[in-house]
């Protein structure tokens, strides 16, 4: 039987989910597979045609009540909660263009969640609302070239109070979306390292409009050989903003970053699951269609190993991520589960996409499939949002602590 030329999503209702979330997954799959995937060639080329298409698709998404799944209803979002969004994300991830079209694009989506939790009414009106309406985007400026991003306590960009203003000085890099952003959420050292308060209470996040004097984009750092990206190196030289741009109380910068990254890691991992799902689909179809050495690829046992190992990688990643989302949703401490998926899932994606590329031969590294982009994304994710090593150390520490406290690890607990 002939296999369809482009991948169509097979999504059926999941019995354990509510009717509402199942319907959302089905509606999302329809838009992604019928309107986004077939238009990826247009969506990948900046210009008028792309802008018009994005506008049309965004309008359709809004009319379908699928806009901003990460936000509560009172902020113009879907209000489907953490788990609902996680389940929707694996469908969105089938195309790298979906998140933008559905109004849930990092880093702005993470900044929005921080402002909803920590922001003042004035900040919400001035900075949050324009991003929800899709009029502005933002960036998150934490990592620095001269200090270890994996140890955010080492950051040295300072904010010093001068009258009713904060004065910010420092250098950041890998501030994604820096060039397009209307404002940056900047992680600043506001307390002396030997001053009052705990080691995690020395930083504060401050909003800096990107047209503030002293905010200078030095360059977009080339990533994987691509010059045109927007991961920016930025200097902050005597940047003055009103004290009212401080997000949350002084010293809460780490806590806000953890809030953002914890949930963000689940979304990233469901995003990885969705991408692996599509890579798997492409791999299986290629194996069924390609003839090599007098037989079909699917009949070669080494291909069968690749398919079977990929199936296991995807299913284990998916179940681990859903379990982690359930632990977070239950309100329990999910730090171990979050670190575990942050290590396991991008590595699994790396393996799955690698196999899919191999099975496609030269086509796998070409621009004719999304596999090359997925591969680079998976490799990058083993560093971004905290490198593998740091999360492995955290898992081991949490496990050892429990045993030292006289308990054993309970894998069944929610």
Ligand X SMILES: Cc1cc2nc3c(=O)[nH]c(=O)nc-3n(C[C@H](O)[C@H](O)[C@H](O)COP(=O)(O)OP(=O)(O)OC[C@H]3O[C@@H](n4cnc5c(N)ncnc54)[C@H](O)[C@@H]3O)c2cc1C
Q: Would you count residue 364 as binding ligand X (CB under 6 A)?
A: no
CA–CA separation, 380 and 224 (whole Å): 9
Smallest separation (angstroms) from ligand X to the CB of 111 = 10
For 12, 30, 315, 363, the CA distances from 308, given in Å and listed in that order, are 22, 28, 11, 22
Q: Binding pattern to ligand X, positions 222-261, x when CB under 6 A?
A: -x-------x------------------------------
Examine residue 383 and tell whether it contacts ligand X (CB under 6 A): yes
Give yes or no for residue 267 binding ligand X (CB under 6 A): no
What's the DSSP call for residue 38?
A: G
CB of 144 or CB of 281, closer to ligand X: 144
Closest approach of ligand X to the CB of residue 410, in Å? 27
How crowded is residue 367: how many other Cβ atoms within 10 Å of its Cβ?
A: 11
Query: Helices H, strands E: what count in the chain?
Result: 14, 10
Compute the least distance from the CB of residue 149 to ligand X, in Å.
2
- Among 71, 60, 59, residue whose Cα is nearest residue 131: 71
> Nearest-CA neighbor of 36 among 90, 102, 131?
102
CB of 362 to ligand X, least distance (A): 26
Which span (22-30, 36-44, 135-143, 266-274) binds ligand X, by CB under 6 A? 135-143
DSSP for 59-122 reads: HHHHHTT-S-TTS-GGGTS---HHHHHHHHHHHHTTSTTHHHHTT--TTHHHHHHHHHHH--HH
- In whole angstroms, how close is the CB of 247 to ligand X at the nearest point? 15
What are the angstrom distances between the C-alpha of 140 and each of 166, 175, 187, 257? 18, 6, 8, 10
Nearer to ligand X, 131 or 175 (CB): 175
* Of 61-69, 141-149, 271-279, 395-403: span binding ligand X (CB under 6 A): 141-149
Q: What residues between 143 and 172 interact with ligand X by CB under 6 A?
A: 143, 148-150
Q: Residue 40 and residue 413: Cα distance in Å, rounded?
A: 42
- Does residue 138 interact with ligand X by CB under 6 A? no
Stretch that binds ligand X, among 27-35, 58-66, 269-277, 378-386 (CB under 6 A): 378-386
Q: Where are the alpha helices (DSSP H) in 196-300?
A: 253-289
Binding residues for ligand X restricted to 171-190, rule: CB under 6 A: 174-176
- Span near ligand X by CB under 6 A; candidates 138-146, 193-201, 209-217, 367-375: 138-146
Site residues for ligand X, 206-225, by CB under 6 A, read 223
Task: Output the residue with the shortest Cβ distance to ligand X.
Answer: 149
Q: Which is nearer to ligand X, 143 or 321 (CB)?
A: 143
**Closer CB to ligand X, 281 or 385, in the complex:** 385
Instruction: Specify the length of the chain in residues.
Output: 414
- Bridge-partner residues for 206, per DSSP? 186, 246
Q: How far is CA 391 from CA 103, 122, 151, 340, 396, in A?
A: 29, 36, 12, 7, 9
C-alpha distances in Å from residue 338, one per residue of 233, 261, 285, 328: 29, 9, 33, 9
Which of 319, 393 has the CB closer to ligand X? 393
To ligand X, the closest distance from the beta carbon of 146 in angstroms equals: 9
For ligand X, how many residues bind (rule: CB under 6 A)? 22
Among 107, 346, 364, 370, binds ligand X (CB under 6 A): 107
DSSP state of 354: H
Q: Choose the binding region for ligand X from 70-78, 235-243, 380-388, 404-412 (rule: CB under 6 A).
A: 380-388
Does 385 bind ligand X (CB under 6 A)? Our answer is: yes
Q: Which is nearer to ligand X, 370 or 377 (CB)?
A: 377
Among 87, 97, 140, 277, binds ligand X (CB under 6 A): 140
Within 10 angstroms of residue 54's Cβ, the number of other Cβ atoms is: 17
CA 234/CA 215 separation, integer angstroms: 7
Beta-bridge mates of residue 69: none
Select the span of 50-58, 86-94, 348-356, 388-396 touching ligand X (CB under 6 A): 388-396
Residues that bind ligand X (CB under 6 A): 107, 140-143, 148-150, 174-176, 223, 231, 380, 383-387, 389-390, 393
């Amino acid at each position: 039987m002939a296999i369809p030329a482009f991948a169509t999503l097979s999504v059926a209702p999941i019995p354990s989910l509510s009717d509402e979330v199942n319907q959302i997954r089905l509606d999302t799959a329809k838009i992604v597979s019928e309107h986004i995937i077939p238009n990826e060639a247009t969506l990948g080329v900046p210009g008028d045609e792309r802008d018009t298409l994005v506008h049309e698709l965004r309008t359709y998404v809004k009319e379908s009540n699928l806009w901003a799944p990460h936000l509560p209803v009172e902020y113009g979002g879907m209000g489907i909660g953490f788990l609902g969004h996680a389940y929707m994300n694996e469908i969105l991830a089938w195309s790298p263009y979906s998140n933008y079209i559905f109004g849930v694009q990092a880093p702005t989506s993470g900044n929005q969640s921080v402002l909803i939790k920590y922001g003042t009414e004035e900040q919400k009106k001035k900075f949050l609302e324009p991003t929800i309406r899709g009029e502005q985007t933002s960036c998150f400026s934490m990592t620095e070239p001269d200090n270890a991003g994996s140890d955010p306590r080492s950051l040295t960009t300072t904010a010093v109070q001068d009258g009713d203003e904060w004065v910010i000085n420092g250098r950041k890099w890998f501030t994604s979306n820096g060039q397009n952003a209307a404002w940056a959420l900047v992680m600043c050292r506001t307390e002396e390292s030997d001053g009052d308060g705990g080691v995690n209470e020395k930083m504060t996040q401050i909003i800096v409009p990107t047209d503030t004097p002293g905010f200078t984009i030095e360059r977009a750092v080339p990533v994987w050989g691509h010059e045109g990206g927007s991961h920016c190196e930025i200097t902050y030289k005597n940047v003055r903003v009103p004290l009212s741009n401080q997000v949350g109380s002084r010293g809460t910068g780490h806590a806000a970053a953890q809030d953002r990254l914890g949930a963000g890691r689940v979304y990233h991992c469901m995003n990885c699951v969705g991408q692996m799902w599509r890579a798997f689909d492409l791999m299986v179809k290629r194996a069924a269609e390609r003839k090599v050495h007098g037989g079909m690829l699917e009949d070669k046992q080494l291909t069968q190993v690749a398919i079977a190992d990929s199936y296991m990688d995807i299913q284990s990643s998916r179940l681990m991520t859903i379990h982690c989302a359930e632990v977070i949703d239950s309100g329990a401490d999910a730090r171990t589960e979050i670190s575990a998926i942050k290590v396991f899932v991008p590595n699994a994606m790396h393996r799955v996409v690698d196999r899919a590329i191999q099975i496609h031969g030269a086509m796998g590294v070409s621009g004719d499939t999304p596999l090359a982009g997925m591969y680079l994304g998976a490799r990058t994710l083993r560093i971004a949002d905290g490198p593998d090593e740091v999360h492995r150390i955290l898992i081991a520490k949490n496990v050892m602590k429990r045993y030292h406290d006289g308990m054993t690890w309970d894998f069944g607990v929610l």
